[in-house]
A and B are shown apart, each in its own frame.
Chain A
Amino acid sequence: MSDSTVKLHYDIDAEDFTTAGEASSGVKKTLTRLGVNPELIKRISIAMYEAEINAVIHANGGFADVEITPEMVKVVISDNGPGIPCVEDAMKPGWSTASNLVREMGFGAGMGLPNMKRYTDEMCVESEVGVGTKITLIVYLNR
């Protein structure tokens, strides 16, 4: 591992809303220790939280891999879930496939992917139906 990279790995547990958010809050603590600007930390942790919750709601959990360098924070949330049939649709605010049960719990408003885009500098969604989804979120630290 190079001296100027911090790598973090988290398992995102399935179907447990009470622990969802643990990965993003762990990343938040780490970034605080590294002296990253609070406003950037907020953007990263909100975007990551959205991705984490998505993995819980839609995909029975997954993994979060985070790479921090002095230049940027890269978050990759991957799952082996059902995949997104049309990424373009999913990027539209309000578009959601969440079940009624999930909506009753206050999630599934269709703002997940749009919010991730809003709070990050770069976002990439790779998804294949029946295989899984990989969301990459990047926030630059020196812009």
Chain B
Amino acid sequence: MSDYFHSIVLEEELCKGCTNCIKKCPTDAIRVQSGKARIMKERCIDCGECVRTCPYKAKVAVTDPLEKMADFKYTIALPAPTLYLQYDISKFGRDKIMTALKMIGFDYVYEVARGAEIVTKASNIYLDKNKETRPMISSACPAIVRLIQVRFPSLIPQIMPIKSPMEVSADNARREFCEKNPGVTPDEIGVFFISPCAAKMTSVRNPIEVSKSAVNGVFSIKSLYFKLLKQMGKIKEPLNILQAGFSGVRWATIGGEAKGIESDNILYVDGVQNVIKILEQLEDDKLTDVDFIEAAACPGGCLGGPLTVENMYVARTRNFRFKSMLPKLLNEVSDVELENTEFERAPEHIDVTTLDEDITKAMQKLRNMDELYKMLPALDCGACGAPTCRALSEDIVRGKAKLTDCVFVLKDRVRNLAKEMMELEGMLPPTLDNKAEGR
């Protein structure tokens, strides 16, 4: 687990050791230790909540530098649908964005919105063939898939075993490019995802559903925003290379995926805390009448991702406008496109909650935890560096913290010690000075 890559990292020198991020983390993965907010790697799901919350910009999402393009003979850009919503669409339409991507050096552009249309078709086929398990949960948001692996392991069988639009797009883009350019071998091509999302970077480095990601690198929308804007100003005749219709483009916003599912019983939920509430209900076997759940960690869906530029509400309004401008599909999804869209392997349970492998020892630790918790003030102030008093008591039994990390416990101890010293002082025999005064 120690070599697990995370896109979310701490810029130590910017961190003030405040408690904003530890409070927002949905998996209790951050602790302030020695004045810095350190991330517990095995718990982090790369949702980006801390990136959004940190007032000092000390939590950042790492993506690849643009120079990585130079490592490949040919390059393909995979723009996420969210990219289209970053610009005023009446001036900078989708065709201009696609053209600008080629102008900055990509040999080929493949819309992830097209990959999304393929995923929709594959998901509908899967739901039609497999009717026992309901509801199925979208696997498109990597932070949510990892949230399930970490916090809701009993729901793993309900994760839709269809690859993400990013992976499906990368496979299809590579195949198309090789078909159109005879002589090119797949390994000469670098495929780069243009991402609103921090967790996608993680899922390229540590893929869940495949053994090796078909994507070679991830660039943030932020890093390309101005570069593209500059090029778009120069475009007179944009290229006609669009592949996706509205049913793919709308995936940028929450509900965009679920609305493509052939069922009236769909549910979509955004924001990681809201998602947790729904997953809790699923765990209790509720909502079994629902066929499909789309869950996105970011508020509003991908367009609310931490690597975007435009305000997510503004971006959403642009998505509405696409609806009237576009047909649902520009091209029907073909059998070739649907090849290899299923998961190569099932997501695993990542156990971060078990107190001890040995259940008897775990029980002892649990009891110790309860005893410790009773000594804590239940204020959940965060001053100890843990998000709640409960989390501190757990850290203590795991040997990662001590009771006096709690400022209230420490204050009491110091006060009691001071009292005792005063009492002892009263029992001391008179000193030479006192004698002198009493003379």
Contacts and interface: CB of A to CB of B under 8 A. Distances in A.
Interface of A: 3-6, 21, 24-25, 28, 30, 32-36, 38-39, 41-42, 45-46, 49, 68, 70, 141
A34 B361 CA distance: 9
A69 to B, nearest CB: 8
Contacts of A25: 280, 284
B280 A33 contact: no
Given A25-B280, A70-B359, A70-B360, A42 B154 contact: yes
Contact of A6 (B154, B285, B354, B367): B367
B359 A35 contact: yes
B364 interface: yes
Interface in B335-375: 349, 351, 353-357, 359-360, 362-364, 366-367, 369
Contacts of B353: 32-33, 35
5 contacts: A3-B363, A34-B363, A38-B154, A38-B349, A70-B359
Consensus secondary structure, chain A interface: helix
A35 B356 CA distance: 7
B366 A30 contact: yes
B213 to A, nearest CB: 27
Given A6-B366, A34-B354, A34-B366, A42 B359 contact: no
A3 B360 contact: yes
A53 B282 CA distance: 17
B188 interface: no
Closest 10 CB pairs of A and B: A35-B354, A38-B153, A38-B154, A42-B154, A70-B359, A34-B362, A32-B353, A46-B285, A4-B360, A6-B363
Contacts of B355: 33-35
Given A3-B360, A35-B356, A70-B359, A21 B284 contact: yes
A33 to B, nearest CB: 5
Interface residue range, chain B: 20 to 34
Interface in B117-167: 153-154
Contacts of A30: 366
Given A36-B359, A68-B363, 20 more contacts: A3-B360, A6-B366, A6-B367, A25-B284, A28-B283, A33-B354, A33-B355, A33-B366, A34-B354, A34-B362, A35-B351, A35-B353, A35-B356, A35-B359, A38-B154, A38-B349, A39-B154, A42-B154, A46-B285, A141-B359
> Counting chain A CB atoms within 10 Å of each CB, which of B285, B356, B359 scores highest?
B359
B80 to A, nearest CB: 32
Contacts of A39: 154
B362 A33 contact: yes
A141 B280 CA distance: 22
A59 B153 CA distance: 34
A19 to B, nearest CB: 14
Given A6-B366, A32-B354, A39-B154, A46 B359 contact: no
